[in-house]
Amino acid sequence: MKNMLHAEHALLPGGWARDVLLCWDAAGMLTGVTVGAAPAPDTVRANGPVLPGMPNLHSHAFQRAFAGLSEFRGADRADDSFWTWRALMYRFARDLGPDQLEVIATQLYIEMLRAGYTTVCEFHYLHHAPDGQRYAEAAEMSMRLLAAAERAGIGITLLPVLYQDAGFGGQPPRPEQRRYLNSVDALLDLVQRGRAHGARVGVAPHSLRAVGPQALRELLAGLQSIDPRAPIHLHIAEQQQEVDDCLTWSGQRPIAWLLANASVDERWCLVHATHLDATERSALAASGAVAGLCPTTEANLGDGVFPAAAFLGAGGAWGIGSDSHISVDAAEELRLLEYTQRLAQQRRNVLVGDGRHDDAAPRQVADHLWLGAVAGGAQASGRAVRGLAVDQQADFVVLDGSGLLGGLGPAQALASHVFANSGRSAVRDVFVGGVQRVRDGEHALQGVACRQFVATRSALLQED
Ligand code: NGQ
Ligand code: ZN
């Protein structure tokens, strides 16, 4: 039967359930999630445990073509850092045009689907032509990202980025940043153009470094009149340098400053939020905002370790993003998140909720992480992608129950997928809005997308 799937095991918001019948409507929204349903002979059966699709809450799509290309130390540099990486990344992005962006994003979004992500929040700042001039269609680059998402079949929340200053206190932007610059009005126009196209759109003040207090206020007021429920994302407190500069500028740490100067609530996603003291940590958790964690990028860039155990312990909302795409794999982000806490605390099984629990069943780390990241990622995306529940989008992932995971219970299978990585993904089938996009691990467009990506990247490298 159409628009139905029977799962012997499915991970519902409350945990694993048996014999779950998923039904969805023509719009791709779940209309039934029935536990204990006898499998009808004509209903398609999932080939393994079914998970809710994972939202990827932070992506700069163009950076996919640069991933892996800055893992060297130049002869003249003994102090490689986030900032030297950024200079190389800017250089790579300098001449990247609309066709190239669309090719890179298409490849990336196919990779995301094959890795278990079903939605992406695109934190998009490469707005203008290389010389800083607006394209004839001001939202040209935004439209290319939307086209790529549509072609790949991933859900998208578009976050046009406001970028104005090179540093705290309104430092004038550098020439290499001119492609990113907009007035608040021009940025709100990009929001409207995305919405007119039918996309879910929010805004992203890039960081407290790049957007001053006045512009931030105007942006939020403008957004309020367009869509009071739209998501608001920003980078914050990623690097110690950023914390120090913010202290010099305002006397406050970045997260403390933001919480004191903006009405941060459930609509907000604070990306990285790496460096926060105990007061900021509990205030952020209480605000309802999502901490947007990007463990592999944060490790790659030497950001620091987010105090996830304490933040989750305080009830903070969180989700995962692949950010620079040094890795595109939901399982790997969750694994590294847990491992950073184990390394720091010299303990095992850290991110499982409260320290002790009375229920007899063991608390599974991977179940807990997967569900937590889906809930927070859905919140940050501002879309109905909260997992396997009625009125949510039919976004789900089927793990391969017949291969290496054969014979395992569903929680063991998910734990193996997240922690026991043997280099071969266990993601078998992926559905977005009830439409199957990945079948037996493969996406219909992966061959052509990969060839176009490689050609595009080669062209970009030759321009150097
Ligand atoms: C970005 N990426 O916007 O792509 C940033 C680097 C900046 C990360 N923060 C640029 N990981 O923060 O100034
Ligand atoms: Zn970022």
* pLDDT higher than 70, residue 255: yes
Task: Tell me what the pLDDT averaged over the chain comes to.
Answer: 96
> What average pLDDT does the segment 243-263 reach?
98
Say how many Å lie between the CA of residue 105 and the centre of ligand 1: 18
pLDDT tens digits, one per residue of 24-66: 999 999 999 999 999 889 999 999 999 999 999 999 999 999 9
Confidence of residue 357 (pLDDT cuts 50, 70, 90): low
Which pLDDT belongs to residue 362? Answer: 85
Confidence of residue 356 (pLDDT cuts 50, 70, 90): low
The ligand 1 site (C-beta within 6 Å) comprises 60, 86, 207, 235, 238, 297, 301, 323-324
Which pLDDT belongs to residue 461? Answer: 95
Orientation angle between helical segments 184-196 and 213-226, nearest 10 degrees: 30
| Residue nearest (by alpha carbon) to ligand 1 atom 9 | 235
pLDDT tens digits, one per residue of 363-392: 999 999 999 999 999 999 999 999 999 999
pLDDT tens digits, one per residue of 217-236: 999 999 999 999 999 999 99
pLDDT tens digits, one per residue of 443-452: 999 999 999 9
209 close to 242: Cβ distance less than 8 angstroms: yes
Q: Which domains does the chain have, with CATH numbers?
A: 4-52+391-447 (2.30.40.10), 54-379 (3.20.20.140)
Give CA–CA dist 30/23, Å, rounded.
Answer: 6
Please report the atom of ligand 1 found closest to the CA of residue 238.
9
Closest C-alpha among 71, 85, 76, 8 to residue 45:
8
For 84, 101, 153, 167, 459, the CA distances from 95, given in Å and listed in that order, are 19, 11, 27, 23, 10
Q: Which two tokens stand for residue 250?
A: 């305002």
- Nearest ligand to the C-alpha atom of residue 238: 1
Count CA within 13 A, CB hemisphere, residue 57: 37
> What average pLDDT does the segment 198-210 reach?
98
Which pLDDT belongs to residue 440? Answer: 97
Say how many Å lie between the CA of residue 313 and the centre of ligand 1: 28
Catalytic positions, please? Answer: 272, 323
Which pLDDT belongs to residue 296? Answer: 98
Q: Which of 58, 63, 84, 86 to mutate to test the pocket of ligand 1 (most atoms within 8 A of CB)?
A: 86
Say how many Å lie between the CA of residue 108 and the centre of ligand 1: 18
**Cβ within 8 Å of residue 263, ≥6 positions away:** none
pLDDT tens digits, one per residue of 270-302: 999 999 999 999 999 999 999 999 999 999 999
